[in-house]
Amino acid sequence: MHKRFVGVLIVLSALMLNVVSFIVPQQASAATLSNTTLKWTTQLSAGSGAWQSIIWSPEQGKFVAVASASTFPFAITARGMTSTDAKSWALSTMTGTRPLFMSVAWSPSLNMYAAVSCADITGSACQATTTSSSVATSPDGVTWTTRTNPDATANWRSITWAPGVGFVAVADSGTNRVMTSSDGITWTGRTASQANAWRAVTWSSALSKFVAVATSGTNRVMTSPDGITWTNQTAAEANSWDAVTWSPNLSKFVAVSIDGTNRVMTSPDGITWTPQSAPGTNTWSSVVWSPELSTFVAVANSGTNRVMTSPDGITWTAKAASVDNAWNAVAWAPALQSFVAVASSGANNGPPVTGSYRTMTGSMITAGTDPATSVAARSATFHGNYTDKYAGANVFFRYRVAGSGGAFTDTIPQAVTAEGNFTANASGLTPNTNYEYKAVVQWTSAAGTETLEGGLQTFTTPLADDDSDGVFNVIEDAAPNGGDANNDGILDSAQPNIASYINGATGKYAVLALDNACQINTAATQPESANAMADLLYQYPLGLTGFTANCGTPGFTAHASLYYFGADNIAYIARKYNPITKTYTTFPGVTTSSVTIGGQAALQATYTITDGGAWDTDGAANGIIVDPIGLSQLLNSGSTGTNSSGSPLANTGTSVASLIGLSSLLSVSGGATIYYIVYRERHSAIAWEEKNEN
C-alpha cells in the first residue's frame, strides 16, 4: 500500500466511535508544467528533385534549396525551390550547362544567393567527366543567372559566405579546388592546401577563419583567413568528413563524417581536432548550429535514426527522422524556430505527381499540463496545451493515484491538426483521493510512435456527497443501522430526501427525513447558542435543526421526521426560531415517540410543514422550504437540564415562575428603581439588569 498523508474525522455515535480517514488535499500548481522536444514532420516538397542543399535568408525570410536532378514530369532545369514557411514550396528554374547543383549560400550584403554544381553525376555521385559544372546567382532564389566558372571540370560541392571576403567554394575534383568571389559574378580559382576531395566549407567570424573538410587525402582539414591562402590541418581521424559548421556561442567547430569509428570531431580553432562518438554508424551528411536552441543538429542519408542532436558537439542523442529518406542537408530558421532538412529521395505524392515528401521540418514542440478544474468526488476535467508549428498529433492525458507508482490510465486520444489547448473529462475517480496527471502528445516517425509528456499536476477529489444533501457519504454511511439511520431499508447516502449527520448539540447522530419529492440541500442541528438570540424561558438539550429543501411544487406540504439518537421521549415542546426576526414561537402539531433503530434508542419527532405557509421561514410558495425547529424544555431549577447557554441554572431553589412574579412585584412597589429579567444576544443566561427610571 502506498503512503499518503491523512487527516482524521471523528464521528461520535451513541454506541460507537467511528474514525473516518480523509485525505489532506495536495497543493496543485497554478502554472502550466511543460516539457519540450524536437519533433520532425514530413513536408511535401515542390517537385521530385534530388535536393542537395538548403539555406535560410533572415533578411528575405525565405528558404532556398537546390537539387542535382529532377524527375519527370518536371523540367530538367527545375532544380530550385523556395518557401517562407517550410510547408508550401514553389519550384524555380536554375540555369547552367548541366545544373547539377550541390550547394547554395546567401550573402546579406549583396542580397544574393549563389549556387555551385557538379560537372556530371552518375547515380548520386558527382563525376568529373565533362566540362559543365556551373555557378549561378539569384536575388530572390527564383530567377537565376549563370556565372563564368573558373574550373568547369571541378565538382563544386560546397559554398559559404564571409562578410568582407565574399563567397568561397570548394570542390572534390579539378585543378584548383577552391574558388572565391567578392561579388558573386566574377570568380577566381584558388589553390587548395592539398588536392583532396573537399566536401564542405564554413566560416567563423569570431576567428576570421575558413575551415574546409574532405573525404580523402592525407590532411583532411584546411584553414584560411581569406579563402586564398590555405593551410593543411590534421583531422581527428582519417574519416570521410562530409560537413562542418561553427558555433559562435560555444566557440567551436563541429564536423561530421559518413564513415569511421568516431563520426564527429570538434575543434576550438580549426587546428586541433578531437574525435567524438556519434550515436550510430550513419552516413552523416550535414550539421548546423541553432544559437536560439543551443543545439547542434546533424542529418544522415542512411542509417537507423537519421537525426542526431547535441548541446555541445560532444554528447549526441539519436533521433528518428520523420521518414527514412536520404537526408542531405539541414538549415536553421530563427524566425520560424525550425530546422528544415532536404533529401534526394522520398515517396512521390501522386498520381498525378505534384511533388514528393523530400523535406522535413524539425521544431520544438511542447506538451503542457494545466491545473485540473471541475474536480468532484468522482470526476475531474483535465487541461493541457500543445505547441507545434507543424501540428499533427494525438493528444490525451494519463492519470493515477498520486504516489502509488501504479500504471497510468489513459483518456481517449484526440487527433489535433492545430496547436492549442485541449481537455478531457475523467470519471470513475475515487472520492477523497490524491491524483496526479499529465498531458501527452504522440506522433508517428520513422521509429514508430513517439511520445512527449507534460509535467505532473496533482489534485484531490473531495469527500463524496452522492445525494447532494450537504452531508458527505462517509458521515451518512457511518450512521446507526449501517448507514440506514431512518430504517427504511435504503442507505441514507443514496437518498436525497434523507440526511443523517452529527448533532452539533449532543455529538450523537440526528436524521432528517422528508418526502421522496424533496431534495435536501442543507441540514444541520446546532446548539441554541449558535443562534443570534437565545430563548428566555426554554432550553434545547437536543439543539435546533435547520434545513433547506427543494420539494419542487410551490405550496407543497412536506412530511418531516426528525430522529435524535440517544434521546429519551420526555416532555418536549416544539419551538420555531425565525432568524430574520430573531424570535421563538411554539410550533403545534409535532408528535414524538421512542424508536429503536439498529439496536440503538432514538427519539422520533414528526410534523408537516407547507411551502409558503406560516412556518416556512422564507414565506414564499416557491417550492423551497426553510425550516429551523427545535425540541425544547421549560427552564426550571428542579430539572437536571441546562439553560440554552449550556450553563447550569443557579441552585437557588427558586423557579422561573417565581422570578417572573418577583419582577412584577418590584415593578408596582413604587420604588425608584425597577429590576427586569432580561436576555441578551448570544448570551442566554438569566441576568438581572438595574434601570433607574427617575
Cα torsion 56, 62, 64, 70: sign: positive
pLDDT surpassing 80 at residue 15 = no
pLDDT surpassing 70 at residue 474 = yes
| Three cell numbers written together for 391 | 501540428
pLDDT in tens, 340-365: 999 988 765 444 444 578 999 999 99
Residue pointed to by grid coordinates 435546533: 544
| Three cell numbers written together for 548 | 433547506
The three state secondary structure string of 461-520 is CCCCCCCCCCCCHHHHHCCCHHHCCCCCCCCHHHCCCEEEEECCCCCCEEEEECCCCCEE
Specify the DSSP element, H or E, that contains 209.
strand 209-214
pLDDT surpassing 80 at residue 459 = yes
Can you tell me the mean pLDDT for 102-128?
A: 86
Give me the count of residues in the chain: 694
The HSE-up count of residue 263 (CA atoms within 13 Å, CB side) is: 22
Backbone torsion region of residue 612, taken as left when φ is above 0, otherwise alpha when ψ lies between -120 and 50, otherwise beta: left
| Three cell numbers written together for 564 | 435524535
Phi, psi of 176 (to 5 degrees): -105, 110
pLDDT in tens, 251-266: 999 999 999 999 999 9
For residues 629 and 649, which has the higher predicted lDDT (pLDDT)? 629
pLDDT in tens, 204-214: 999 999 999 99
What are the b/e assignments for 588-601, b being 16+ CB within 10 Å? eebebeeeebbebb
Band the pLDDT of 476: cuts 50, 70, 90.
very high
203 burial type by CB count under 10 A (0-12 exposed, 13-18 middle, 19+ buried): buried
The pLDDT value recorded for residue 131 is 67
Among 114-123, 228-237, 265-274, which stretch is predicted with the lowest mean pLDDT?
A: 114-123
Band the pLDDT of 153: cuts 50, 70, 90.
confident
Q: Output DSSP code: residue 292.
A: T
Cα 103–Cα 106–Cα 233 angle in degrees, nearest 5: 60
Among 25-29, 70-74, 449-453, 462-466, which stretch is predicted with the lowest mean pLDDT?
A: 70-74
Band the pLDDT of 75: cuts 50, 70, 90.
low
Band the pLDDT of 311: cuts 50, 70, 90.
very high
Kindly report the pTM of this predicted structure: 0.75
Phi, psi of 675 (to 5 degrees): -105, 135
pLDDT surpassing 70 at residue 158 = yes
Distance, in Å, from the CA atom of 282 to the CA atom of 263, rounded to the nearest integer, reads 8
Amino acid at 36: T
Can you tell me the mean pLDDT for 392-402?
A: 96
pLDDT surpassing 60 at residue 313 = yes
Distance, in Å, from the CA atom of 23 to the CA atom of 433, rounded to the nearest integer, reads 6
Percent of the chain with pLDDT over 70: 83
What are the b/e assignments for 531-563, b being 16+ CB within 10 Å? bebbbbbbbbbbbbbbbbbbbeeeebebebebb
Are the C-beta atoms of residues 527 and 612 closer than 8 Å to each other? no
The pLDDT value recorded for residue 573 is 96
Are the C-beta atoms of residues 169 and 156 closer than 8 Å to each other? yes
The pLDDT value recorded for residue 47 is 76
| Three cell numbers written together for 338 | 525550425
CB 25: neighbour CB atoms within 10 A? 16
The pLDDT value recorded for residue 71 is 60
The pLDDT value recorded for residue 118 is 87
The pLDDT value recorded for residue 2 is 35
Cα torsion 158, 162, 165, 167: sign: positive
- The mean pLDDT value of the chain amounts to 86
pLDDT surpassing 90 at residue 396 = yes
According to the per-residue pLDDT averaged within each range, which of 5-9, 360-364, 687-691 is highest? Answer: 360-364
pLDDT in tens, 513-562: 999 999 999 999 999 999 999 999 999 999 999 999 999 999 999 999 99
pLDDT surpassing 60 at residue 604 = yes
| Three cell numbers written together for 181 | 568571389
pLDDT in tens, 643-688: 333 333 333 333 333 333 333 333 333 333 333 333 333 333 333 3
pLDDT in tens, 421-444: 999 999 999 999 999 999 999 998
